[in-house]
Amino acid sequence: MAALLKVEKLSLSLPAVGGLLRDVGFEVARGEVVGLVGESGSGKTLTGLGVLGLHPPGARVTGRIDFCGEDLLTATPDRLRALRGREVGMIFQEPRSSLDPVMTVGRQIANVLRAHEKMTSTQIRVRTAELLDKVGLADSGRLIRSYPHELSGGMCQRVMIAMALACRPKLLIADEPTTALDVTIQAQILELLRGLTADEDLAVLLISHDIGVISELCDRVVTMYSGEVVDIADRDELLRRPAHPYAQALLQASSRETTPTVVRSAHESPSDGNGCVYRTRCRYAIDACRTTHPDLIGDARSATRCLRAGDLELAGLVA
């Protein structure tokens, strides 16, 4: 499949803390759901925000973010503003924090349409109601006049999804879309995203620390650790035969319903410039892992960053 989004050698650093992302690369095709998974501090959200040019102030960014043949890293601020919401939709974490508490739901969706579409007020009202219906919110006439504090967490998340889809984007970035929702509502949101992806032929980048969520929705999975991509694999292959020790550890932690120790952030990782960033937690580490930084072997659709990947697979340790 031709890539709609292709991230190549994306690196990001801040003067006070150093490198936060290093040579991040992956791709997403139209109609494909790609999961970006890893513990807190692994660089998932920073990568997702980076696609939209929402870097921290003062950040130094290098690499290429190719979206429909255009490098977004060299795009002007005006061009990025035109893309956000129209070509690329974003579902942020914590919908209650992302929605404006003093503005009605209807007005917030309408503002997206006014910013990017040439529509009359009547057309905007009709489209807003259609969007609320599409995301499974009944009684759209009442909800349009409601404020975020009058809605449940699940309803707020559905409103965020409606806003993200308002202009029929080509790419949807969903950052932890089920965080803080109970299990029943989480399942409903995942089912909604699955249906919308098929109906709208969206490309989706789903950011999550939850392997369960990733396994429910994604076609392929990009695993990050300490600001680096350490594994890229088809979902079924990842679940059946994880090629990287960290991917294996995430799966084992998920099956035990436990949370591993919080990952080192990129600037807290071994700073000698050598060695594998995961070596201090890896049960399979050898002396070479302390002195040689492994390359990501493979391509943008299937790859592993591990000196022992072949040995471990042959030995059956990561199968």
pLDDT in tens, 41-66: 899 999 999 999 998 889 999 999 99
Alpha-helix runs per DSSP H in 232-286: 235-240, 245-256
CA distance 25 to 191: 28
Query: In percent, how much of the chain has pLDDT > 90?
Result: 62
Q: What is the pLDDT of residue 252?
A: 86
Q: What is the pLDDT of residue 32?
A: 92
280 with 298: CB under 8 angstroms? Answer: no
Q: What is the pLDDT of residue 273?
A: 58
> Encoding tokens for residue 246?
């960290």
217 with 206: CB under 8 angstroms? Answer: yes
Segment 307-317 shows an average pLDDT of 71
Segment 296-318 shows an average pLDDT of 79
Q: Which residue did the predictor score with more confidence, 257 or 117?
A: 117
Alpha-helix runs per DSSP H in 27-118: 44-51, 77-83, 95-98, 105-116
Domains of the chain: 3-87+169-315 (3.40.50.300)
DSSP-derived 3-state class of residue 219? coil
Strand partners, 150: none
CA distance 72 to 39: 27
> Encoding tokens for residue 238?
């990842």
Sign of CA dihedral 108, 186, 301, 38: positive
Q: What is the pLDDT of residue 207?
A: 95
2-16, 119-133, 162-176, 187-201: segment of lowest average pLDDT: 187-201
Instruction: Give the list of residues 6+ apart from residue 19 with CB closer than 8 angstroms, or none.
Output: 11, 12, 13, 227, 266, 267
Q: What is the pLDDT of residue 260?
A: 45
Q: What is the pLDDT of residue 264?
A: 52
218 with 33: CB under 8 angstroms? Answer: yes
Q: Judge whether residue 181 has pLDDT over 80.
A: no
Residue type for position 151: L
pTM of the model: 0.89
Q: Judge whether residue 250 has pLDDT over 60.
A: yes
Instruction: Give the list of residues 6+ apart from residue 33 with CB closer than 8 angstroms, or none.
Output: 197, 204, 206, 217, 218, 219, 220
Q: What is the mean pLDDT of the chain?
A: 88
Q: What is the pLDDT of residue 51?
A: 92
CA distance 306 to 294: 6
